[in-house]
Structure 1
């Protein structure tokens, strides 16, 4: 295997990668503002994406499918019609539809569409971020800068210990004691002090003092003899001392930490160079296979289109076949009815009965006709006789 020289990553590439991470973080916040968890993920029953989903390559097929679904949802969220992409659709057609929707929004695209096939990268994040911005504008969502909370000065409360002497409190008590001019008994006079010194007599020491009680009294009074000075947190001297102590501790830890970090940086850079070289090798070795895979995928899409067209024709022919089968069943039923009626003797019996009935009716009619002829003949004879009688009477008259 031929090893290639490690590629030196430029500052521009590093900056673009960090920009993609930052844009992906902002994109996730914008998607949450658009309620993509309840409106987008609930219908697809998918897990929420994390802030590195479209930046770090993990599963290109799944990431491209998620990118196409999310882009279609954002386009529909902005008030436009966009057909829901399917998992087995042609990626070129899907990318072309997304690019057309992006161009309709007036976005500038200065990169080839092949950059979107992997479903990750700064271009994918750029497309989704612009679509999210357009959807936010269409939904009248106002973005404002965050306001940091006001920092309050830390006030350290110092509890006054009554067992210790506080100089500030002693001064206040002394000022309060000597500030009352109305009470003359509390005024200190120097002359009285001099008189007291003259009147002072040597005290007689008593030797009956218990040593244990003396020690106990000393232990009881000893805490009250301590002097505490109240610390001021706003004093610049205290802050300066803290800065010096922090600087010293940082200087102490910096030596070992810096060497460890440099060693770790070297190891990471060597590992990245190895990964890049192997990635290039794999890409070069798998380039033909990937081309074959793309060609096979294109052929598969064509075969699917043909299959869909043929399946639509088959469905129409099936409907026609069902109609012809229905007509055939009705014709068969009519033929069976006619065949059963031809083999059955009931029609002949009915004909004979009707002929006999007609004969009886003819006989009845003949009888009636004979009766009517007889009546008619009698009336004629009677009329002739009446005419003859009348004619004979007329002749006799003449």
Structure 2
């Protein structure tokens, strides 16, 4: 029911009522910028600038209610102080209801003060009307009696006091609308005039600076030519010395390259010489030493022993083979005799 009633109210106010909050928020941000809230509030509390729709409640915008409330209380306290009312800035962990009550109380006090000022202005306007009446009578009297000299019966001191009392209230303050194109046009003209005047003064300084720089450059050029002329012989000598130095460096580079190659060849020859010396030392030590001869004699002795053992083994094998041959031969002879013996006749015995 509440949502239907809210929708009915929005339909009664018009189709653009839902976007009214965005417009009001943009106007609020512009007014705060005119009051220089960025330096007075944001820099002091180390906060970020407000977006164009910071306080707008919309499902399409991400919001943090706690942060929004704290920002609102800080800005409200600052605006109350700017309006001339002393108000202590609320802290982040203060009671929200108490903070809102204090802000509302200060706003009511401001409304009452504005109301009293309006009443005083109305009274002053009535006093001005009363002052205008004698002046109108005074203007009408000369027309009726032109020969009469007007003389004031009001005390001069009282008149001055009355003028001093009424003068601050006679000042008319016109509140300008920042969105009016005429104001922007006037500002553009003012800025253009300021730029033109500044450009006129700056151009004279720049022209003078250009003239001084041109004179200085001419002096520097002439001095450079004089120095080059005086030092031309030394420069030529320096160039020739530099050329000789480059040639000497080139020869040194070539000689250094040949020396490197010769050093490499010398190292190889030295290495081969060391190898030859080592081989000669090995051969000389082997020729002077009797150890090889002793080894040869030991080897010959061992060979003789092995040859004796081998001869014994050969004799044993030959003896065994001879026995085997003799045994085989005796067996063959026995078999031959056994086959040649005739069988006895069976007849006579029967």
On whether the aligned pair clears a TM of 0.5, the verdict is no
Larger radius of gyration: 2
Q: Which has the higher helix share?
A: 2
TM-score range, shorter-chain basis? Answer: 0.3 to 0.5
Q: TM-score, normalised by structure 1?
A: 0.32
